[in-house]
């Protein structure tokens, strides 16, 4: 109850005490309900804002954590770290820049193949994976006669020849296999999940046929139609030929050197 009083005196000298008592519900009911509704709506809005902020913050922090982890792995030489961040804000732009950096750091600028660092990163991850998942053959390739082409027609034509050879190497193997350029005229092919010597021999024969065809680059640029560039190939199969990157490359390099000597001996006999 809300109570109010007042003294009233009339002309006759009488004093009246007037008292008014009104229940609060008569005039405060709607106001109280409105205040209560406002408070509840405000509390609900605060809760929603907090939950939304936590969700957005978690989403942003998760993407930032992925970027940070990817940057650390790239720093260790892993250039195929998947990001899959499809955002259009600054974080999305940073992820796109990081993916571009991965591609540039792991790619040979001239041929577009994987470079040595990317090759070693791929091999290291496979070697460190469970044994059941490991099975591959490594082919070490050194071009025959490339130095003479470079000396005769110049480095620009030589670079174009390397680009053509890179394309032939990619066409020789499956899309899932790895083709890398170590530097100069040395290349490496990794045949994943291939440990059978007969399968490797088939790929090797196909490789020698593809590389033995006349070079289109010299036909187009200098008019030479019959110039060829062959290759010496060495093979190493994991794990029997080596259980490390260095061991595999060393074994394949020795095989390549023996193959190169065989080619030289054959050329001398033919002449």
Model confidence over 158-200: pLDDT tens digits?
999 999 999 999 999 999 999 999 999 999 999 998 888 899 9
Tell me what the mean pLDDT of segment 205-211 comes to.
90
* pLDDT at 270 (0 to 100): 60
Query: Is 80 exceeded by the pLDDT of residue 145?
Result: yes
* pLDDT at 27 (0 to 100): 63
Query: Is 60 exceeded by the pLDDT of residue 49?
Result: yes
Query: Is 80 exceeded by the pLDDT of residue 242?
Result: yes
145 φ/ψ angles, rounded to the nearest 5 degrees = 85, 5
Return d(Cα 39, Cα 244) in angstroms, integer: 68
Tell me what the mean pLDDT of segment 239-253 comes to.
93
**Average pLDDT over the chain, rounded to an integer:** 85
Query: Is 60 exceeded by the pLDDT of residue 271?
Result: no
- For 55-70, give one letter per residue: b (16+ CB within 10 A) or e: eeeeeeeebeebbeeb
What does pTM read for this prediction? 0.69
Residue 198 CB neighbours (<10 A): 6
Query: Is 90 exceeded by the pLDDT of residue 89?
Result: no
Return d(Cα 231, Cα 211) in angstroms, integer: 7
Of these residues, 185, 205, 243, 259, which one is catalytic? 185
Query: Is 60 exceeded by the pLDDT of residue 132?
Result: no
Helix, strand, coil share of the chain (percent; to 5):
60, 20, 25
Active site residue 185: yes
Which carries the bigger pLDDT value, residue 78 or residue 264?
264
Least confident interval from 92-101, 152-161, 250-259 = 92-101
Q: State what percent of residues in the chain have pLDDT above 70.
A: 88
């Amino acid at each position: 109850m809300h109570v109010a009083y007042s003294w009233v005196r009339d002309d006759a000298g009488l004093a009246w005490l007037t008292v008014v008592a009104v229940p609060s519900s008569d005039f405060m009911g709607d106001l109280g309900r409105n205040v209560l509704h406002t408070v509840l709506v405000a509390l609900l809005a605060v809760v929603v804002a907090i939950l939304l902020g936590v969700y957005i913050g978690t989403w942003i922090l998760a993407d930032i954590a992925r970027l940070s982890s990817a940057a650390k792995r790239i720093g260790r030489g892993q250039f195929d770290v998947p990001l899959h961040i499809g955002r259009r804000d600054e974080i999305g732009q940073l992820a796109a820049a990081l993916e571009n950096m991965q591609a540039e750091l792991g790619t040979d600028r001239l041929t577009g193949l994987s470079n040595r660092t990317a090759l070693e990163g791929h091999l290291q991850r496979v070697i460190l994976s469970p044994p059941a998942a490991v099975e591959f053959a490594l082919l070490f390739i050194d071009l025959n006669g490339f130095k003479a082409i470079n000396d005769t027609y110049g480095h620009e034509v030589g670079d174009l020849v390397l680009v053509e050879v890179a394309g032939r190497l990619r066409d020789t193997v499956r899309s899932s296999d790895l083709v890398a350029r170590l530097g100069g005229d040395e290349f490496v092919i990794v045949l994943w999940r291939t440990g059978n010597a007969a399968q490797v021999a088939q790929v090797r024969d196909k490789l020698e046929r593809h590389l033995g065809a006349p070079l289109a680059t010299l036909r187009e640029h200098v008019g030479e139609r019959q110039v060829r560039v062959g290759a010496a190939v060495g093979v190493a199969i994991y794990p029997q030929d080596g259980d490390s990157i260095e061991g595999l490359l060393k074994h394949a390099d020795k095989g390549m050197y023996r193959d190169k000597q065989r080619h030289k001996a054959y050329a001398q006999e033919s002449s």
